[in-house]
Homo-oligomer: A and B are copies of this chain.
Amino acid sequence: MRAEIISIGSEITTGQNLDTNCQWLSLRLAELGVSVAFHTTVADDLADNIAAFRIASERVDLVLTTGGLGPTQDDLTREALASVAGVPLQEDAQSLAHIRAMFAARNREMPERNRVQALMPAGSEVLFNARGTAPGVWMKINRAYFAAMPGVPSEMFTMFTEQVVPRMRAAGLLGQGSVILQRKINCFGAGESVIEEKVLDLTRRGHVPEVGITVSDAVISLRIFGRGPTQADALAQIAPVEATIRQRLGDLVYGVDDEELQQVVERLLRQRGLTLATAESVTGGLVAHRLTSVPGASEVFRGGIVAYTNPAKVQLLGVPAALIETHGAVSSQVAEAMAQGARQRLGSDLAVSTTGLAGPGTEGEKPVGLVYVGLAWAEGVRSLAINWGGTRAEILSRSAKSALNAVRLFLLNG
């Protein structure tokens, strides 16, 4: 049982877009015990699409394609599938009704050209698209089952999970190879080498299970790869190593897999029945944005103030103008006053603040990357200073993480 993933689009072959669908699908197939032999990317060219589909139909058992299902003349997947299978395209009435309904839901009439999205190769099954207009296609060509899905990631994710996996199961395509499961342990608050030194024996080549270390935007992740005939075997390999890592790294570990600092912070707030507010200067709304990106944030997040200028710090947060004059806006004193001001004005239990320099270019003698995070609660206030490196975008993102992490550590340890 081998699979191939085919990504379709000149925006990928010309390098304009980076294809991430392929990686997502590869991870899902690995979890399902399906081995991926090839990824192929093909430009928006009918002859090349036909050639790629034909090769795949003869060398693997499952082909997952993404892209080429839109309504434009560059969208050739339907036509290429029909050509390789040697069947005509036929309009599917149900799909057409769904496309019309999607437009109607947005108070628009379906443009005539979207009608082509309802064309299906004869003998194929429609893969319902819960999130967009383009239906997918499920059909067998030569030795391979094909699942043709849209290139829009959110549409593809849902279609793969809800429509393709059940059909793979029904066709007997699951659970034949060895399952690979990953567990990602995410850490924040120390550098890569500090963390790596604590787990050197686990990350060495040949260790079973394999443990890798990656860094992304100041988050250090340890990935444990469990392998075995079943998911239970793979999980059993992972569990003791995860326990060792957690024991060694303590509260440097904030979460697992795709968990983010804001989710952990909100979970802790909810557990303790506390609310949070933000006062942001350097991060300019990013801390609030991350907090509100979590569904249900309004239960624990009161709101925030983006005080990007000194007058705004004085007027909206009640920071004494004299404090700014004496210590500068980028100072622990101002960070603490901002947090206190936000806590009071928003009536929250806790408030966190940021003030710093993200560059490019310096202002005065303080270095770009210097950021103060303030934290205010009923009984007190404190602050910490961090020096971040990187571009402006990196400094902003990492400073927002420092603010969230300060709240997390306060909630854990007081």
Contact = CB atoms under 8 A, between A and B. Distances in A.
Interface stretch (A66-74, A82-90, A159-167, A240-248): A66-74
Interface residues of A, number: 115
Nearest to A71: B193
A307 B303 contact: yes
A45 B70 CA distance: 35
Interface in A277-327: 278, 280, 283-289, 291-293, 295, 297-298, 301-309, 311-312, 315-316
Interface stretch (A103-111, A118-126, A135-143, A374-382): A103-111
Contacts of A308: 288, 292, 297-298, 301-304
Interface string A13-44: 11111111011111111100001111111111
Contacts of A306: 278, 285, 288, 292, 303-306
B37 A182 contact: no
Contacts of A312: 302-303, 346
Given A39-B39, A45-B37, A106-B389, A284 B291 contact: yes
A6 B348 CA distance: 51
Given A14-B182, A24-B15, A38-B40, A284 B288 contact: yes
A98 interface: no
A55 interface: yes
Contacts of A288: 280, 284-285, 288-289, 306, 308
B18 A20 contact: yes
Most-contacted residue by chain B among A52, A74, A111, A306 (CB, 10 A)? A306
A57 to B, nearest CB: 14
